Amino acid sequence: MKHILRALALAMCVTLFAAAPASGQERSATKQGFELAPKSGKKILVFRPSVQVGSQSTGGMFEPNGEWTDSAKRNLQVALEKLQTKLGNEIVVAPEAYGEDAQKLAEHMALFAAVSDAVIEYQFFRGNRLPTKKRDNKEDVFDWSLGAGVADLPGAKDADYGLFLYNRDAYGSTGRKVLQVLAMLGPGIPVKSGEHQGYAGLVDLKTGDILWLNADAAMGGDVREAEGADKRAAQLLEDFPGSDLGQ
């Protein structure tokens, strides 16, 4: 239930944003005081992106599709490799993880997605902010972390920062599209068909603090196609610190 409610709340945030741009929806943030100059001598460890593609049932539930996921993984890998050289700093590709290491990495990736969800829901969407974080928000403080456990991830000892990339795409099923039409024809409520979460985060590999986050629950680019994956990768890494991407 909570998942559906959360998905709907997220959809509502996006819907309200679309209806009232004045309320202000942000998409990216940088930790206060963090700066990364090009060619700074810092090493960025790029973890293998988490990619899930499926369809969205009428009620908004995610139903995974193996074939779509496989092509999206391939497409995004190629797209990201094209951009990695333009990130402005030295890139280290994370070693392939096995067994316990792979499990640890997957869990951190899931935590990164959960933190990004919380940031979108409770910080980027201004009308939905948590009262205890009001002062932080007023002073533009961006204080979110994955915890110091990131220091034990494979490859972390050889780099300064880790780049986490998470994608979850749900393409609207026929039922969902019917709901979209019904809702529009009936009470005139816009319902989203399909969800396209794309999160990119630069993380301090000693503290786990998120230094830069670009997260959107409505990303562009059909990752099942090579061209769409290029678009998605560019959108994910837009304004990456120290790079000239997106400028």
What residue ranges bind other proteins (CB under 8 A)?
1-6, 8-9, 11-12, 15-16, 57-60, 62, 106-108, 110-111, 113-115, 117-118, 121-122, 127-132, 144-149, 175, 178-179, 182-183, 186-187, 189, 191, 208
Shortest spacing between CB 11 and other proteins, in angstroms: 8
Q: Between residues 191 and 233, which has the closer beta carbon with respect to other proteins?
A: 191
Shortest spacing between CB 111 and other proteins, in angstroms: 5
Q: Between residues 129 and 231, which has the closer beta carbon with respect to other proteins?
A: 129
Shortest spacing between CB 81 and other proteins, in angstroms: 25
Separation CA 76–CA 173 (nearest Å): 23
Q: Between residues 201 and 208, which has the closer beta carbon with respect to other proteins?
A: 208
Q: Which helix (H) or strand (E) holds 201?
A: strand 195-204
Shortest spacing between CB 4 and other proteins, in angstroms: 7
Share in percent of the chain as helix, strand, coil (round to 5): 45, 20, 35
Q: Between residues 54 and 242, which has the closer beta carbon with respect to other proteins?
A: 54
Helical segments of 55-214, H only: 66-84, 99-119, 134-138, 174-185
Please say whether the dihedral angle defined by the alpha carbons of residues 5, 6, 7 and 9, taken in this order, is positive or negative.
positive
Shortest spacing between CB 247 and other proteins, in angstroms: 31
> Which of 198, 247, 205, 244 is closest to 44 using CA atoms?
205
Q: Between residues 32 and 174, which has the closer beta carbon with respect to other proteins?
A: 174
> Which of 93, 80, 96 is closest to 43 using CA atoms?
93
Separation CA 42–CA 40 (nearest Å): 5
